[in-house]
Amino acid sequence: MEAIISEAELRSQDRSRDREHDAVLLDVRYQLGGPPGRPQYEAGHIPGAVYVDLDSELAGPPGAAGRHPLPDLDVFAEAMRRAGVSASRPVVVYDGGQGWAAARAWWLLRWTGHPDVRVLDGGLAAWQGPLETTTPTPVPGDFTPVPGALPLLTADDAAALARRGLLLDARAPERYRGEVEPIDPVAGHIPGAVNAPTTGNVAADGRFLPANQLAQRFKALGATEDTEVGVYCGSGVSAAQEVLALAVAGIQAALYVGSWSEWTADPSRPVATGEKP
């Protein structure tokens, strides 16, 4: 199953909302520190799209498990069913173009067993069709999340994977090196992790690089057919974009949802700095 869908492919589809098998569209615009996504959604969105809030519906309350821990499954299920999500209908997710929030929704749906979820390549910034401001009221879906369809890492799992496989740190290089840390209490990275910023997964227009180029990138970082791969970031959002990029390249990777925000919540966990893993 393809992990992304092009703007042209989505626009060419019949968007009649009364068709039983039309793709459900989710608008997951989100940006760390704002502006809020809902006002942007209300100002204009792809016709038929339903807004989903990352902080309250795709993540649990921040705490020791990180700034964006896994959501309560009942809350997530209710949000998805309200948006019209059913296991029998494909889902297309988009954000403003960064790809982080859309990938988080993609990962959660795939992790909980949805068989057909794709991210709009380039997000709303790539959309060439009309926008609407009316809020749709879709027929409620029947999606029941069953977690475990994709690999998930705990903090201990991530530490072990950094020793035996390939653990990728998807944050900016200066945060990985420990030179700056604008959000979390400690700067640096998980010992053994290799830096692979999400900016390296996309072209200047925000669309993902072709699959063969992504495969070459990850191979250069140490990902081979036999390598066990995991990804983390600051709070498990941008890392989902890297897991998506790896999927486009044909590589399955586990997500450490708690990521650096959970790792540094325990002062006993080791921290590395500098360019080397």
Confidence band for 31, pLDDT divided at 50, 70 and 90 = confident
Q: Among the three residues 91, 126, 161, which one is the final residue of a domain in this structure?
A: 126
For residue 15, what pLDDT is reported? 52
Which pLDDT tens digit goes with each residue over 106-160?
999 999 999 999 999 999 999 999 999 999 999 999 999 999 999 999 999 999 9
Which pLDDT tens digit goes with each residue over 181-221?
999 999 999 999 999 999 999 999 999 999 999 999 999 99
> What is the CATH classification number for the domain harbouring 28?
3.40.250.10
Q: With residue 166 as reference, give the H or E element that holds it.
A: strand 166-169
For residue 224, what pLDDT is reported? 83
Say if 218 falls within a structural domain.
yes
What mean pLDDT comes out for the span 79-98? 96
Quick check: 16 pLDDT over 80? no
Say if 210 falls within a structural domain.
yes
Sign of the Cα pseudo-torsion (85, 24, 233, 149, in order): positive
Same domain, 217 and 164: yes
Quick check: 62 pLDDT over 90? yes
Same domain, 118 and 165: no
User: Does 233 participate in catalysis according to the annotation?
Assistant: yes
For residue 40, what pLDDT is reported? 95
Same domain, 103 and 165: no
Eight-class DSSP state of 103: H
Say if 200 falls within a structural domain.
yes
Same domain, 156 and 63: no
Which pLDDT tens digit goes with each residue over 72-86?
999 999 999 999 999
What mean pLDDT comes out for the span 237-245? 98
Tokens of 173: 């290089």
Confidence band for 241, pLDDT divided at 50, 70 and 90 = very high
For residue 148, what pLDDT is reported? 97
**Cα dist. 272→87, 182, 236 in Å?**
42, 17, 19
Amino acid at 162: A
Same domain, 30 and 66: yes
Closest CA to 240 of 102, 134, 48, 117: 102
Q: With residue 57 as reference, give the H or E element that holds it.
A: helix 54-57
Say if 243 falls within a structural domain.
yes
Same domain, 188 and 245: yes
For residue 42, what pLDDT is reported? 96
Same domain, 11 and 112: yes
Q: Walk across the sheet containing 24-27 and list its strands.
A: 4-5, 117-120, 91-94, 24-27, 50-51
For residue 20, what pLDDT is reported? 54
The chain-wide mean pLDDT, for the chain, equals 95
For residue 17, what pLDDT is reported? 47
Say if 135 falls within a structural domain.
no
Same domain, 120 and 157: no
Q: Among the three residues 84, 109, 126, which one is the final residue of a domain in this structure?
A: 126
Same domain, 17 and 122: yes
Which among 214, 233, 243, 245 is annotated as catalytic? Answer: 233
Say how many domains are in the chain.
2
What residue numbers bound the domain in which 179 lies?
152-263
How many of the other CB atoms lie within 10 Å of CB of 71?
A: 21
Same domain, 113 and 12: yes
Same domain, 194 and 259: yes
Confidence band for 18, pLDDT divided at 50, 70 and 90 = very low
Say if 272 falls within a structural domain.
no
Quick check: 165 pLDDT over 80? yes
Say if 271 falls within a structural domain.
no
Same domain, 35 and 92: yes
Say if 146 falls within a structural domain.
no
